[in-house]
Chain A
Amino acid sequence: MSTEGTPDPRIAALQSELEAVKRREAEYRVTMVKEFLDRGERNTYLHVLREERAALIRREQEASADLEILTRKIEDAEARIASLEAQLQAAPAPKGRWGKAAAPAPAARPTVPGAPFTYYLHTSPFRIYRDQAFTLRGWAWPEDGRPLTAVRVDVDGKLYPGRTGIAEPEVVARYGARANSPNPGFEITFETPAGRHAFSLEAQLAGEEWRSVMRTTIWCEPRAQ
């Protein structure tokens, strides 16, 4: 029994215990709310915006893939044309309309050899180039594990050096960090004069040899300034 004015230690202990239980219950509710918010992001405006952004990126990637397929088909057709022209050149001099030579393909500079890379280009090179210059952005890892120390673009033999060492946190988060290439991002700005050009994206490995990451043909039709 407690004496009036003097708190009973047993009651005080029970009250303290009750407070502790209330606090644990409240902490549990805070955790529950946070977990609900994490899961419930699916219903939020922010999530809707993220979904829309991801859908737009997917559409852009699909459009770039279609353009790449088309570009490769055109390149195959050009190769067949070149082969047929070579046969015609070897044959007796043609007459009539066969005598007129087709427009020459882009001057093929001796290119550096290729090498396997894991890479992705944020700004696809498969497009009609409408501006005076274009900045290619992406990331690349040489598959042999050597560091990528420099990048450049070769357009009809003219070289445009780029910048490497750009952070790609989403890539590292997805594929894991590579000791030799902690920041695999790069960007290269190159001129896009009117006409059709041979394009090669090239990377230097371990400060030594250059290797081609990818090659294609590009078409440039800059808008009038």
Chain B
Amino acid sequence: MSDSEAQKRWRTSRAPLGDRSNYKKVWEAQSGDGDLAALAVAGHTDEATLELTARGTIDMLKSTVGIGANDVILEIGCGIGRVGLPLSRECLHWVGTDISSGMLRHAAARLASRPNTTLVELSTVGLQEFPADSFDLVYCTIVFMHLLEWDRFRYVEEAFRILRPGGRCYVDNFTVDTETGWRIFMESYGYPIDRRPAHISMSSSREELRTYLARAGFEDVRVHDLPNGLIAATGRKPEAP
């Protein structure tokens, strides 16, 4: 499938804004084939660009929360496993979660050669499929923009629960006070009011992300300006008393 064909299919696969909370429906509809899925979750379809952007994400994780060879890592909204494929080479075990089984099917194909990976379909918003105190790092990248605020916080709360004491959390989004963020904002601004799609990108503020992490119980909460124009919030789950 050519990129333009994928773009066309992506446009026609959009659900209306009223379905925004129905994440399973919205993202299953965009997981029909590999190119459509890649375009929906990453914005491009070619493997070289996917690898390049994944390396960029890993570099951001390294510079903000660090990655260790013994880390057990969970990604919220892993999509086609863009980040998981290279990241699984640098940690003990990587768990990819997504609300779309279709996306996970593509991820499974991409990760077939990586035995230290597990893919889990989330039944709904949250990480109820996982036990408490299990992971060293939980991260969520290029996902919050597609979620409503309550669901963003739900994932932060859940990340806190499943992280081991001392475990790290990373979430990111765009913000309107950067050039990149403003560009993304204006792209969405161009939609006619009655044709805004369910997955339309919505920004976060630094205070919003900082508040989520602090309210969830994280300590050492920091907000980072990332080289790609996004902002990230990180925190650490307190060590057990």
Contact between A26 and B95, CB atoms less than 8 A apart? no
In the complex, per-residue mask of B16-29: 1 if CB is within 8 Å of any chain A CB, else 0: 00000000100000
- A155 CB, min distance to chain B CBs, angstroms: 43
Contact between B128 and A43, CB atoms less than 8 A apart? yes
- B7 CB, min distance to chain A CBs, angstroms: 30
Q: Does A169 touch B at the CB level, under 8 Å?
A: no
Give every chain B residue within 8 A of A53 (Cβ-Cβ).
none
List which B46-67 residues lie within 8 A (CB) of chain A: none
- B159 CB, min distance to chain A CBs, angstroms: 14
A36 to B130 CA separation, bound complex (whole angstroms): 7
In the complex, per-residue mask of A19-41: 1 if CB is within 8 Å of any chain B CB, else 0: 10011001101101110110010
Known A23-B70, A29-B134, A33-B118; judge A40-B92 contact (CB<8 A): no
Contact between B72 and A30, CB atoms less than 8 A apart? yes
Q: Does A45 touch B at the CB level, under 8 Å?
A: yes
Give every chain A residue within 8 A of B128 (Cβ-Cβ).
43
- B92 CB, min distance to chain A CBs, angstroms: 5
Contact between A26 and B118, CB atoms less than 8 A apart? no
Give every chain B residue within 8 A of A43 (Cβ-Cβ).
123, 128-129
A29 to B70 CA separation, bound complex (whole angstroms): 11
B136 (CB) vs chain A CBs: closest residue:
A26
Known A44-B123, A45-B123; judge A33-B71 contact (CB<8 A): no
Q: Does B236 touch A at the CB level, under 8 Å?
A: no
Give every chain B residue within 8 A of A40 (Cβ-Cβ).
129-130
A33 (CB) vs chain B CBs: closest residue:
B134
A29 to B95 CA separation, bound complex (whole angstroms): 12
